[in-house]
Structure 1
């Protein structure tokens, strides 16, 4: 019998044809590149965390702009350093976005890890401020009031023996912990219970403007810290409206008086108690506020779409970095939506 011929035809220009097809479908990364001034972001990172120089020479580090783009990709698709290295090697769209199409060598997992350590939390905060500046340059001033809320962010669970817990409470290190084991133990994350479910990790508190649903301020902490502790920290003084929305976890007489003294209009939901249930008027007010306050849940939902509100890191400092980069990437994605429309869905690896 004669062998069947393959139905797949080969072409020397197949790669060019595939690239043209991808461009016709629309590369979401090109839309990000068209809206965001990445050189300006890189300049701000270099200002707070200057590039290292070696007197002995050696291979120069990758441009800061390239590494910033990699960090955005990493958070946008919730990739580990190992997966980021693989996807850079595998995906032409990633290489094009990072300016690495013709590069002989690509950043590996160690390079990405060292860059994150170099810029640290200060670098992530500088990126957040720089993106906010570009948001304002595009004309998206905080409008319509602000919505304040917090969300729990799970971290890798830790398991301690009873003796370990006793030592940790005394600010002592268990004697049988090797340096390698110590590096894998998170002594900063805490447990908390919400809606009957226990969560181990950290907390992200944000202030979002009602009009554009952009994160204007943020603060991070451990999971056990109450949401209301960071209310004043994420309060934005530059919103064009004086209305402040929040759920039933934030009300207090002192806060109401303070907001009024500062010229704000409180739209914080009332909370009933066992002997003092909410009146029908208060329930209607809460329902009206909930319709507006729900917009902040869209922000947290968008973070879930970027791979989920979770981190793989150990310790408060790395959690602060990861959560701040999560907010940076969300604002970038939201700005692209406001400027050129929704990004087409791209399957995450």
Structure 2
């Protein structure tokens, strides 16, 4: 499977059950096989505005430009420590966005108190996105029983749509009106 080709000696029944699109990745010392979901979320109402799915081995930062919703009127872009780069900062500035990307310390060069405070301020806003992932995880997001990236993309899109419907139902039951 690592060569993205099925061995010729496999029987057709076994071939149907193997997913050649999915890839392996390590996160916090644990190996995961499958796909990855990146989202663009509304800061105020916690609606998912845009999603991008890809194989698990693809780094999150490769989805950055594709997941940005150009129709969004909020010009602040919040992201974690895996995204900062000089090119990305220049791209954001050229396109009229304000970078709210957390900074990362390096060996023998820790973050200053000011940078730590900035990261903490950004983390409070970013935590709202993690609530959406937790809600989708309760709906079964951790496990997708499909073979192929197209089907996995469909499954994750449906999960995001269900999450948004759940948020909409909450707003309607609480009589909250978007301004």
TM-score, normalization by structure 1: 0.48
More strand by share: 2
3-state SS of paired residue (1:330): helix
* Larger-Rg structure: 1
Counterpart of 2:99 in structure 1 is: 266
1:275 to 103, 108, 115: 108
Taking only aligned residues, the RMSD between alpha carbons, in angstroms, comes to 1.5
Q: Do the aligned partners of residues 322 and 177 (structure 1) sit closer, same or farther apart at CA in structure 2, a change above 3 Å counting?
A: same
User: Residues of 1 paired with 2:19 and 2:141: CA distance?
Assistant: 20
Q: Which has the higher contact order (CA 8 A, sep 6+)?
A: 1
3-state SS of paired residue (2:147): coil
Q: Structure 1: which 5+ residue stretches go unaligned?
A: 1-164, 343-349
Quick check: 1:306 aligned with 2:173?
no
Q: Do the aligned partners of residues 339 and 186 (structure 1) sit closer, same or farther apart at CA in structure 2, a change above 3 Å counting?
A: same
3-state SS of paired residue (2:67): coil
User: Residues of 1 paired with 2:166 and 2:5: CA distance?
Assistant: 44
1:341 to 169, 174, 178: 174
Counterpart of 2:10 in structure 1 is: 177
Counterpart of 1:243 in structure 2 is: 76
User: Residues of 2 paired with 1:172 and 1:335: CA distance?
Assistant: 43
Q: Structure 2: which 5+ residue stretches go unaligned?
A: none
**What's the CA shift for 1:213?**
0.5
User: Residues of 1 paired with 2:35 and 2:141: CA distance?
Assistant: 14
Aligned length: 175
Q: Do the aligned partners of residues 201 and 183 (structure 1) sit closer, same or farther apart at CA in structure 2, a change above 3 Å counting?
A: same
1:218 to 22, 36, 51: 51
Counterpart of 1:252 in structure 2 is: 85
Quick check: 1:234 aligned with 2:62?
no
**What's the CA shift for 1:239?**
2.1
**What's the CA shift for 1:234?**
0.8
Quick check: 1:320 aligned with 2:117?
no
Structure 1 segments of 4+ aligned residues over 4 angstroms from their partners: none
| Structure 1 residues 265-313: Cα deviation after superposition (integer angstroms, max 9, x where no partner) | 1100001111322111101100110000000001001112223421011
Q: Do the aligned partners of residues 211 and 307 (structure 1) sit closer, same or farther apart at CA in structure 2, a change above 3 Å counting?
A: same
User: Residues of 2 paired with 1:295 and 1:319: CA distance?
Assistant: 24
Counterpart of 1:192 in structure 2 is: 25
User: Residues of 2 paired with 1:180 and 1:288: CA distance?
Assistant: 53
**What's the CA shift for 1:240?**
2.3
Contact 2:34 2:55 in 1 (8 A): yes
Q: Do the aligned partners of residues 293 and 313 (structure 1) sit closer, same or farther apart at CA in structure 2, a change above 3 Å counting?
A: same
User: Residues of 1 paired with 2:34 and 2:5: CA distance?
Assistant: 21
User: Residues of 2 paired with 1:308 and 1:205: CA distance?
Assistant: 13
User: Residues of 2 paired with 1:296 and 1:175: CA distance?
Assistant: 44
Residues 1-349 of structure 1: pairs in structure 2 closer than 5 A? 165=1, 169=3, 172-341=5-174
**What's the CA shift for 1:339?**
1.5
TM-score, normalization by structure 2: 0.92
